[in-house]
Amino acid sequence: MTLHLGKYIIGMVALFLCASCSVTGEPVSEAVSEPRPASRTLVIAHRGASGYLPEHTLAAKAMAYAQGADYIEQDLVMTKDDRLVVLHDHHLDTVTNVAQLFPDRGRDDGRYYVVDFTLDEIRRLSVSERFETQNGGQTAVFPDRFPLWKSSFRVNTFAEEIELIQGLNQSTGRSVGIYPEIKSPAFHLDEGKDISSATLAVLKRYGYAEITDPVFLQCFDAAELQRIDVELMPQMEMHVPLVQLMDTSRQYDWMLRADGMQRVAAYADGIGPSVRLLIAPESVAEDIKFTALVGNAHAAGLVVHPFTFRRERDQMPPFSKDYNDFLRLFIDEAGVDGVFTDFPDLTADFLESDR
Find the shortest distance in angstroms from Cβ 86 to Ca ion.
10
Peptide bond into 157 cis (omega under 30): no
Find the shortest distance in angstroms from Cβ 273 to Ca ion.
13
In the complex with Ca ion, which residue's Cβ is closer, 76 or 125? 76
Q: Which stretch binds Ca ion (CB under 5 A): 94-102, 179-187, 262-270, 273-281?
A: 179-187
- Alpha-carbon distance 221 to 103, whole Å? 32
Q: Which helix (H) or strand (E) holds 195?
A: helix 195-205
What is the contact mask toward Ca ion in residues 133 to 172, using x (rule: CB under 5 A)? ----------------------------------------
In the complex with Ca ion, which residue's Cβ is closer, 181 or 337? 181
List of E strands, the chain: 42-45, 71-78, 84-86, 131-134, 137-140, 177-182, 217-219, 242-246, 270-273, 303-304, 338-341
In the complex with Ca ion, which residue's Cβ is closer, 86 or 233? 86
224 lines the binding site for Ca ion (CB under 5 A): no
Number of residues that bind Ca ion (CB under 5 A): 2
Element counts in the chain: helices (H) and strands (E): 14, 11
Q: Given 56, 88, 90, 188, which residue is catalytic?
A: 88
- Alpha-carbon distance 259 to 266, whole Å? 11
- Alpha-carbon distance 203 to 209, whole Å? 7
Whether 46 is a known active-site residue: answer yes
Q: Given 46, 90, 91, 188, which residue is catalytic?
A: 46
| H helices present in 54-175, as ranges | 58-66, 98-101, 119-123, 158-172
Which residues between 62 and 91 bind Ca ion (CB under 5 A)? Answer: 75
Find the shortest distance in angstroms from Cβ 13 to Ca ion.
26
Which residues between 29 and 68 bind Ca ion (CB under 5 A)? Answer: none
Q: What is the DSSP letter of 53?
A: S
Find the shortest distance in angstroms from Cβ 72 to Ca ion.
11
**In contact, 122 and 155? CB cutoff 8 Å:** yes
- Alpha-carbon distance 337 to 352, whole Å? 15
Going by C-beta distance under 8 Å and a sequence separation of 6 or more, which residues neighbour residue 101? 124, 125
Find the shortest distance in angstroms from Cβ 20 to Ca ion.
19
Q: Which stretch binds Ca ion (CB under 5 A): 177-185, 252-260, 283-291, 315-323?
A: 177-185
In the complex with Ca ion, which residue's Cβ is closer, 70 or 75? 75
In the complex with Ca ion, which residue's Cβ is closer, 36 or 91? 91
Q: Which stretch binds Ca ion (CB under 5 A): 99-107, 180-188, 228-236, 269-277?
A: 180-188
- Long-range contacts from 140-143, C-beta under 8 angstroms, 24+ separation: 142/51, 142/312
Q: Which stretch binds Ca ion (CB under 5 A): 163-171, 181-189, 259-267, 294-302?
A: 181-189
In the complex with Ca ion, which residue's Cβ is closer, 75 or 342? 75
**Residue whose C-beta lies closest to Ca ion:** 181
Going by C-beta distance under 8 Å and a sequence separation of 6 or more, which residues neighbour residue 120? none
Find the shortest distance in angstroms from Cβ 181 to Ca ion.
4
181 lines the binding site for Ca ion (CB under 5 A): yes
Residues forming the site for Ca ion (CB under 5 A): 75, 181
Active-site amino acid positions: 46, 88
